Chain A
């Protein structure tokens, strides 16, 4: 399967959108060479603000810029973009419902070598709990580009989580992307897997394994975890023996949590794949980390067998 960089896609699409819309500006906290907001900065130095290693000021300055009609994209690693300025996002951006976009790069365990301090496995949970906030976790580079376009068109605060890893291309150019809508990646009738990001790919591999033992799996890409497409999720969860959620995030408060909440008044068996309640760690080998934390095809296969 062909892979591509999500952050390259993000940076290029941000520049692309900035060419069309002069209100788009970018702010970064000394990570523009990793977040790839540098592309916008190189072409439009006046519309790129190097805010120094000071994320709280960066977020609130973006709020101020949005109050003058700009569409600021705030960039940092996901862990710093959501954790350090939580109060600034809550009070200064989400409460007044300002048009500020937050792009959290190197999400999940994807900054493998840098360890727990640089890995964001709580970001969806933190952002999801804030009223007015939209949370998007794209599955591949193509969806990342579409998400950036959608963010520009959408009026209001949005958090986008972007992996550092090159991920398999799962969607196509032609497929539409709409904030708040799930998409069916593959159909099946025994189990539905709701996944996002890297774990959609792992789910596809698990689906192949499970087909060999006659377990038929449907895969739904839930790239918007807030607002959640509750109606479709209920529909896809109702005609199977059970469901699995899979995410590169803590099992607390992320996609699995969101779906469990949405289905809490239904009698549906749910198995969750994600990081247990613990921190990440350094590993130069990303796959080794994914394996250690149970974010694997095998784990999904195991959970599916438990459901049958």
Chain B
């Protein structure tokens, strides 16, 4: 919390380096979506959220749900950086017996809920937001959903329910990188005007450049002033952001890096 935008930009570089660590060379991992979420995750963990690795069960902590669970590498990167577990764990991600599974699991320190089957995170967030209201706690629940994930019907059930329950402690962030596993979303399964759909469902909407730290921070702060309804930030992002050869490429949705690509990615990130 409390970092300046300049510090957050530096942190985002570290988070991207950590994401690379989780898959290293020759291990398949969801690089594309993790990199597109990296700036959003950085702003949540290092600026916006009230959380403490030394007091992870604090009932007043803000909650974060990564609904597009395959991008959990970005969350592992942030959790290691904020002290929920050692950075040594990162390279063990997805290996047998690791505390860092291929998709988020509640048993991992700092992870609030299981996700991975797409379309469920917003409902989890809604339940947590309702629980917070019942207990008169002041925490917020932040949920990152993918734009491809918006095809899941359950998301729209949750969008309508959140409006019905007027949960102004719930903030959805759409990581809109416009590419799903098999290609550009618009060419495969057109989602239409996402912002208009949220608006029509009673949500307060914000649209930003999801890699512009000033805009991210500003939008997150603006959601605090929304009363009586949930907020959504449509964050326009680039799949694979920061890794030159992977940007906007569906083939890096879930990919292995060669030794040479790994070196290139490190160099690209260092120069961000």
**Chain A interface residues (CB < 8 Å from chain B):** 25, 46-47, 49, 51-52, 54, 56-57, 59-70, 72, 87-88, 90-92, 95-96
Contact = CB atoms under 8 A, between A and B. Distances in A.
B131 A60 contact: no
A87 B114 CA distance: 12
Nearest to A66: B127
Contacts of A66: 127
Contacts of A65: 127-128, 130-131
A67 B154 contact: no
16 contacts: A46-B134, A49-B130, A52-B157, A54-B154, A56-B119, A57-B154, A60-B124, A61-B124, A64-B128, A64-B131, A67-B113, A67-B128, A87-B117, A90-B117, A92-B123, A95-B105
Interface stretch (B82-90, B158-166, B254-262): B158-166
A84 to B, nearest CB: 10
Given A88-B154, A91-B120, A60 B127 contact: yes
Contact of B157 (A56, A62, A96): A56
Contacts of A96: 105-107, 113-114
Contacts of A92: 113-114, 117, 120, 123-124
A61 B160 CA distance: 13
A198 B112 CA distance: 41
* Cβ-closest 7 pairs across A and B: A64-B127, A68-B131, A60-B123, A57-B157, A54-B157, A61-B127, A65-B127
B161 A61 contact: yes
Contacts of B183: none
Contacts of B160: 52, 54
Interface in B94-141: 105-107, 112-117, 119-120, 123-132, 134-135
A41 B59 CA distance: 26
Most buried by A among B115, B123, B132: B123
A92 B121 CA distance: 9
B229 to A, nearest CB: 17
B161 A68 contact: no
- State the majority secondary structure of interface residues on A: helix
Contacts, number: 102
A70 B131 contact: yes
A132 to B, nearest CB: 12
Nearest to A61: B127
A54 B131 contact: no
Nearest to A93: B114
B192 interface: no
Contacts of B115: 91
Nearest to B152: A56
Contacts of A68: 127-128, 131-132, 134-135
A74 to B, nearest CB: 11
B132 A61 contact: no
A70 B161 contact: no
A46 B153 CA distance: 27
B102 to A, nearest CB: 13
Nearest to A27: B127
A156 to B, nearest CB: 13
A59 to B, nearest CB: 8
Contacts of B165: 49
A48 B198 CA distance: 25
Given A49-B130, A56-B119, A64-B129, 7 more contacts: A49-B165, A54-B157, A63-B124, A68-B131, A88-B120, A88-B154, A92-B113
Given A63-B113, A64-B113, A57 B128 contact: no
Interface string B173-203: 0000000000000000000000000000000
A67 B114 contact: no
A61 B127 CA distance: 4
B157 to A, nearest CB: 4
A92 B114 CA distance: 6
A60 to B, nearest CB: 3
Contacts of B119: 56
Nearest to A25: B134
B128 A60 contact: no
Contact of B123 (A64, A70, A72): A64
Contacts of B134: 25, 46-47, 68, 70
B12 to A, nearest CB: 28
A69 B131 contact: yes
A77 to B, nearest CB: 18
Contacts of B131: 64-65, 67-70
B9 to A, nearest CB: 32
Given A46-B134, A91-B120, A92-B120, A64 B126 contact: yes
B127 A56 contact: no
A97 to B, nearest CB: 9
Contacts of B129: 64
Contacts of A63: 113, 123-124, 127
Most buried by B among A52, A64, A87: A64
B157 A67 contact: no
A69 B130 CA distance: 11
Nearest to A90: B117
Contact of A62 (B117, B127, B153): B127
A95 B104 CA distance: 11
